[in-house]
Amino acid sequence: MFQKPLDKALKNINTIRLVLQTNKKLRIILSKTTNPELVVLQENAPKFDDWEEYENCSVVTRLYAIYESFVENLITEWIRNLPSLFSKYSDLSERIKTTHQEGISKLLNELLKEKSRFKDTVFLQDISQSFYSCIANESKYQLISEAFVLYSQNLRSQELGELLTKAGISPVKPVKKDSKNLSAWNWIAKHRNIKKIVENQKDVENETRERLDKLIDDRNNAAHRDIIYTILSVDELVDLCNVVESLCQALAEFAYFAVINRKIAIGQVKRIGKTTNWLSNQKVLYANICQPPLSIGDEIFLLSSTKSYCKSATIEEIRDEEGMPQERIEAIEGVEKRDISVKLDTDACKGLDIYIAALDINEESDIDRY
């Protein structure tokens, strides 16, 4: 569901890394070359200080654009899938309906402008048909996603949280009743990829916020100031790439967590157990399950609000309590729980709740892989 916009963002971020490393190597080569052909290139190259300044400005500008576009695409995918999570418009939360109705009003005003930024993507007929399907409470209602991505400020942590909240993604009610509601930034601060790149593990949340603010400040300076006083090194720019990449990965899982939570609420997925151990080198997961059957090829959902974890995985191999390979694990009369091991097509960890599509809707399930 959110994999396509995530893949696009990660591809673009990696391209920036490659450009940075190529530029760095090229500057080193040009500084030492005696090759006649390269000397000509050296003579026509910009001064290295100027080169690095323009490189800095272009990278921070592009990085922020990738981050902002990803957030918009994430919300668009969420909005597009809301009708499959809430069968009627009236079932949506008041927050979502208010955001939608206010957004439609703003869109209509925007379309009156001669140079509207939506003139080629949103049309009056589409808005009227969509809005009618909503107020008529039709089962096949449609939402205009552009109504949910109207904002005027840079997407710092607070603005990001507000934008997601208005779209109904944040805060998310946890799977377990004794857990607290999660905001997007709570989730980000606990996400494994964020923790890998943050030096101060005691204050991950604030350090991540500061890094995002740094990117936005640098981007604004690059876009609006004639003189750039702070030029980041290649390593520092690569570090910003890592920050944006990890932010996008954490946000994609956060949105997916909201989807699975809703599917739990409407009975489309159910909990079957918990992971007890993970062998990363073999991609083998040990689990205690209480509601077999479970077969090779089945898709499972691995969730943890405390670990900021939400992924889907496909079972490639199953072994029973005795370590014997099985095609399918069945329930045993009188046995409430079974300890099994499964080989997955993706990474996992211990301490995750395991969910599967409910059997009675398994053939019709529209849960997309994250």
CATH number of the domain where residue 357 is located: 2.40.30.10
Boundary of a domain, candidates 264, 282, 301: 264
**Can you give the three-state secondary structure of 93-146, one letter per residue?**
CHHHHHHHHHHHHHHHHHHCCCCCCCCCCCCHHHHHHHHHHHHCCCCCCCCCHH
pLDDT attached to residue 359: 59
Confidence of residue 138 (pLDDT cuts 50, 70, 90): confident
Whole-number pLDDT of residue 362: 40
Name the percent of the chain lying above pLDDT 90: 64
Residue of 355, 358, 337 whose CA lies nearest to 271? 355
199 and 290 part of one domain: no
Q: Rounded to a whole number, what is the distance in angstroms from the first to the last CA of the chain? A: 6
Top pLDDT among 257 and 45 is at 257
Contact 264, 301 (CB under 8 A): no
Q: Answer for the pair 325, 318: CB distance below 8 angstroms, yes or no.
A: yes
Q: For position 178, what pLDDT does the model report? A: 45
Q: Is the pLDDT of residue 318 over 50?
A: yes
Percent of the chain with pLDDT over 70: 92
Mean pLDDT on 98-109? 92
Which one has a higher pLDDT value, 359 or 149? 149
Predicted confidence at residue 329, as pLDDT, reads 86
Counting beta carbons within 10 angstroms of the beta carbon of residue 298, is it exposed (0 to 12), middle (13 to 18) or buried (19 or more)? middle
Tell me the C-alpha distance between 297 and 201, whole Å. 38
Please, what sign has the CA dihedral across residues 216, 217, 221, 222? negative
- Contact predicate 107/147, CB 8 Å: yes
Which of 146-155, 172-181, 284-293 holds the top average pLDDT? 146-155
**Boundary-marking domain end, from 246, 264, 282:** 264
Helix H or strand E segment including 319 = strand 309-319
| Tokens of residue 3, six digits | 């994999």
pLDDT computed for residue 366 by the predictor: 45
CA–CA gap between residue 288 and residue 341 (Å, rounded): 9
Tokens of 245: 């990449």
For residue 365, how far is the Cα from the chain centroid? 22
Residue 244 lies in a domain: yes
What pLDDT is attached to residue 37? 79
280 shares a domain with 194: no
If one counts the domains in the chain, the total is 2
Q: Which two tokens stand for residue 157?
A: 């942590």
Provide the β-strand partners of residue 299. 314
Do both 197 and 221 map to the same domain?
yes
Neighbours of 248 (CB within 10 A): 24
Neighbours of 96 (CB within 10 A): 21
- Within-domain flag for 369: no
Q: Which domain holds residue 183?
A: 3-264
- 43 and 72 share a domain? yes
DSSP state at residue 180: P
Q: Which of 235, 264, 293 is the last residue of a domain?
A: 264
Amino acid at 27: R
Question: Comparing C-alpha atoms, which of 321, 368, 370 is closest to residue 342?
Answer: 321
User: Rounded distance, CA 267 to CA 87, Å?
Assistant: 13
Given a cut of 60, is residue 325 above it in pLDDT? yes
Mean pLDDT of 124-138: 87
Residues 252 and 273 in one domain: no
**The length of the chain, given as a count of residues:** 370
Q: Taking each helix axis from N to C terminus, what angle separates 234-265 and 204-224, rounded to the nearest 10 degrees?
A: 120
Q: Does residue 111 lie within any of the structural domains?
A: yes
285's CB contacts (< 8 A; 6+ apart) are 275, 277, 278, 279, 341, 342, 343, 344, 348
Full DSSP string of 12-55: HHHHHHHHHHHHHHHHHHHHH---HHHHHHHHHSPPHHHHHHHH
Q: Regarding predicted confidence, which is higher, 93 or 41? A: 93
| pLDDT at residue 230 tops 80 | yes
Same domain, 185 and 320: no
Q: Do 26 and 131 belong to one domain?
A: yes
pLDDT band at 200 (very low <50, low <70, confident <90, very high): low
Q: Look at 4-18, 114-128, 197-211 and tell me which has the smallest mean pLDDT.
A: 114-128
Residue 89 shares a structural domain with residue 154: yes
**DSSP states along 271-284:** EEEEEEEEETTTTE
Residue 139: how many other CB atoms lie within 10 Å: 9
Mean pLDDT, the chain, integer: 88
Shared domain for 295 and 319, answered yes or no, is yes
Look at residue 291 and give its three-state secondary structure: coil
pLDDT of residue 23: 94
Q: Is the model's pLDDT at 209 over the cut of 80?
A: yes
Q: Are residues 259 and 276 in the same domain?
A: no
Chain segment 296-312, per-residue pLDDT in tens: 999 999 999 989 999 99
